[in-house]
Structure formats: C-alpha cells, structure tokens
Amino acid sequence: MTLWIRSLVPIVLWATLLTAQDTNWVRIIDIAVEPGPASQDEYTVRLTPNRTQRYDELQFECVYHQEFPWVDVRGRKYQKILEPVSFLFRRSNIELVNDLDAYVSFRVPMGQEVLRKKYGEHVFNPDYPITVSRLKIRGIVEAKPLWVIELPPTGKHVVAEVLRRQAAEREKELQRKEDLTDLFPPSNTHVRPSKTRK
C-alpha cells in the first residue's frame, strides 16, 4: 500500500480510458464502500472483464477530496477544492478471466488524525470532512498501463455507457469553447503607440 502526493486538481473527469480500443478490456465495474475499523473505509471492487488477461498488477488509486467555503485576499467568496494526496492499493499477479467476476478488497485510511500526521498539519482543513472523489483503476502489464479507467468512487458502472456519456460531455465542452471563440475572436492586430512629435 502506498500514498501518492498529488497537486491541487479543481476539475473532476468521471471516466477515462487510454484509447477507444480499451473499452474491450472491462465491461462492468461495481464499487461498494462500507465503514471499516480505525477510521478506514472498506472498498470491494467487482470487475467483469471482456477478455482473459494476466496482469502484473492492478492499481486502485483513491483521490482524497475536500471542499469548503473560502475567502481570498480580495474578499471574494467561493468553494475551495483540495485534492492534495491519493491512496494507492496494488494487487499483484492477478488474472482476469473473460466473463468471470473478479473481486478485489482493500481498506482506505480516512481519519483526519492519521492523514495529517502522515502529510503535515496544513495539507487538509481540520474543520471539514475528507472524502474520496474518484477511483482510478489501472491494468499494468510489463510496467506499462494496458488500460486506465477513472470512475466515481461508488456504484455499478457499465464502462461503455460511462465512456459514451463522457464523450458527449467532451463534445459539449468543445462546442462551448467554439461558441466562445466565435463571440470573442482572438485579435492578431498589434497597434503600436504613436510617437508624440515635439
């Protein structure tokens, strides 16, 4: 088990894969979370693969998340989002068999005291709860990710459907950017200030 340091990430993408062909590797991912002992959450991940593949490692990365009201130096109020660290669980030498469910369970530390002791007093805000915003799953073969899937941290997910929704959201975002470009086209005209004659 390992804890990874992360930069602040204000934007959440719910599902990603390395390439379109990677949708064939896993069909269903079902994530269940229950409270565990000693301020830990117990995760059980059920994976239903579309093909048989032996992996050197399956990685499960839980991204820690905090959100709370904040006032900046100019007095502007907004919701501040922190995602400074991740918890990483590795399951080594595992084979996923076509159409057979595979179960992986692990515990994720969630206590303020434990996490602040590990990373320092100023990594998290002590007055607000810490949650997990998303789960990244990687299938590793020969030290390289064969596929990467990023999902909400709970629930049953049909991978192909999630990816279709993400593709539609990306298309909407691209269209929105194009609309903004049409409204505010970039200017390539450079005007030099005129010199004042004496």
Q: What is the pLDDT of residues 41-56, one digit of tens each?
A: 999 999 999 999 999 9
16-29 pLDDT, tens digit each: 444 434 557 999 99
Please give the average per-residue pLDDT across 107-127, as a whole number.
89
Does residue 65 register a pLDDT over 50?
Answer: yes
At 2 the pLDDT is 44
pTM of the model: 0.75
Buried b / exposed e along 131-142 (16+ C-beta atoms within 10 A): ebbbbbbbbbee
Domains of the chain as residue ranges with CATH: 2-183 (2.60.40)
At 166 the pLDDT is 74
- Per cent of the chain over pLDDT 70 is 80
Does residue 146 register a pLDDT over 50?
Answer: yes
Which structure tokens are listed for 174? Answer: 């691209």
Does residue 192 register a pLDDT over 60?
Answer: no
Please give the average per-residue pLDDT across 77-84, as a whole number.
92
